[in-house]
Structure 1
Amino acid sequence: MNVHSIQLNHPISINDLSRLDVLTKRRLKEVGICEGSVISVKRRYPFHGPCTIESDGQQVGIRRRTLELLLGDEM
């Protein structure tokens, strides 16, 4: 399931990062987001702007396009 389509503040388990490029995967890994991580989308900004996600109490802003490429399962 596409992570972008999940409602706000619902936990999601990331199960596929293969559609991301190498640099984006590395940046997400540096902030603790990898396959098996549980995240939640906290905020979506208008006009196709960035989104704020939370993982282990840490909030990170990422591009909407990156969020659309993440695949996960709702918990």
Structure 2
Amino acid sequence: MNLYQCPKGTKATIKDLPQTDDLTYRRFVSLGMNIGSSICLKQKSAFGGPCIVECNGKCIGLRKLDALRIEVEKR
């Protein structure tokens, strides 16, 4: 399942990060979002807007497109 499909408040583990765009991948890694990291979906905006996730104690805003590309596994 991808991160955007998770219900609000769901805790999950990152299974796969998008490798298609090198710049986006490096941004995720620099923010501490690595494969195997725990992540929690805090909030989704209405009408397909951005979402807020917590990863390693940091709150991060993600575009819907990026959240759809991140594969996660529920804990």
Aligned residues: 75
Q: Give the TM-score of the pair, scaled to structure 1.
A: 0.91
Structure 2 residues not aligned, in runs of 5+: none
Distance 2:74 2:20 in 1: 20
Equivalent residue number for residue 40 of structure 2: 40
Q: Which sits farther off after the overlay, 44-53 or 10-19?
A: 10-19
Q: Percent identity, aligned pairs only? A: 31
Distance 2:3 2:13 in 1: 9
Q: Could you list the structure 1 runs, at least 4 aligned residues long, displaced by more than 3 angstroms after superposition.
A: none
Letter in 1 for 2:35: E
Letter in 2 for 1:22: D
Task: Determine helix, strand or coil for the equivalent of 1:47.
Answer: helix
Q: How does 1:16-55 map to 2 (within 5 A)?
A: 16-55=16-55
Equivalent residue number for residue 60 of structure 1: 60
Letter in 1 for 2:64: R
Task: Determine helix, strand or coil for the equivalent of 2:43.
Answer: strand
Question: For 1:40-66, what per-residue CA distance to the aligned partner results, in whole angstroms no more than 9, with x for missing partners?
Answer: 110101121111000121100010110
